[in-house]
Amino acid sequence: MGQTIIQVDAFTNTPFAGNPAAVCVLPTSQSEDWMQKVAQEMNLSETAFLVRQEDGFHLRWFTPTTEVPLCGHATLASAHVLWSQGHLLPDEVARFHTKSGLLTAKKQGSWIELDFPVNHSEEITAFPELAEALGVPITTVMKNSLGYLVQVESEDLVRQMQPNFERLKALSLSELIVTSSTHKDSEYDFVSRFFAPGLGINEDPVTGAAHCCLAPFWRDRLGKDEFFAYQASSRGGVLKIRYDGGSRVYLSGQAVTILRGELI
């Protein structure tokens, strides 16, 4: 009998949208080399590996080229799999032990709410190489543990920009969030995109970890604690966000199972 692996589209309720992640619930721990090879074989932005523990699950995330310390969409996908495959009852809280500490997920109707650590940014001086790599004018540049957070002047610029990924890879930090507020008639509070060529992902379709940075950024600018956000990649993704200024950010999204396979 092989090992089941499930592909889930996260931060969407529509198949073939949002951010795809592979989820593998393992009976016992496997080597890091094996997990990295499976992630490379799946060739998705993230593959998640879970092993049951006494008080939850040990969770690790791998891109096709490297392990990462935090991933929102693959955590959302993992929680979805635990409930949909009967590893947890619908009213049970999913508890994940990770390199970013304890993360939890709760099922709330058709939505899943993730409890994640906030990631604050500090403003830095804009430098020409960044604007040249993005190909658009920059309003504000911030820096955090994830990379750069760049504000541009309009939603249209966020949606239409076409970065030079080779130039991005040459920067000291090659992972960056680009964001702006939305048009007045938009249902969303802000839009964003996330580029990570240094992690082997030119553009991530929907990025939970980026919204741990975006929540305090937009709370300071919009003066509110709850947001409805859209990540404007070609696939697109929707998030509900709660952030009251504390140490935790609450990200909510939906998820759809796309396929089940077996590693043999």
Task: Give the chain's domains with CATH numbers.
Answer: 3-117+252-263 (3.10.310.10), 122-246 (3.10.310.10)
- pLDDT tens, position by position, 115-148: 999 999 999 999 999 999 999 999 999 999 999 9
- The bridge status of strand 56-62 relative to strand 94-98 is parallel
Catalytic (active site) residue 46:
yes
User: CA separation (Å) from 71 to 10, 45, 64, 132, 186?
Assistant: 11, 10, 14, 28, 27
- Given pLDDT bands bounded at 50, 70 and 90, which one contains residue 199? confident
Q: What share of the chain is helix, strand, coil (3-state, %, to 5)?
A: 25, 40, 35
Q: What span, in angstroms and rounded, lies between the C-alpha atoms of 172 and 35?
A: 28
Catalytic annotation, pick one of 46, 113, 153, 175: 46
Look-up of token digits 């889930």: 8
- Which two three-digit tokens encode residue 101? 């500490």
Residue 61 and residue 68 in contact, taking contact as beta carbons nearer than 8 Å: yes
Q: What span, in angstroms and rounded, lies between the C-alpha atoms of 95 and 103?
A: 6
- pLDDT tens, position by position, 239-258: 999 999 999 999 999 999 99
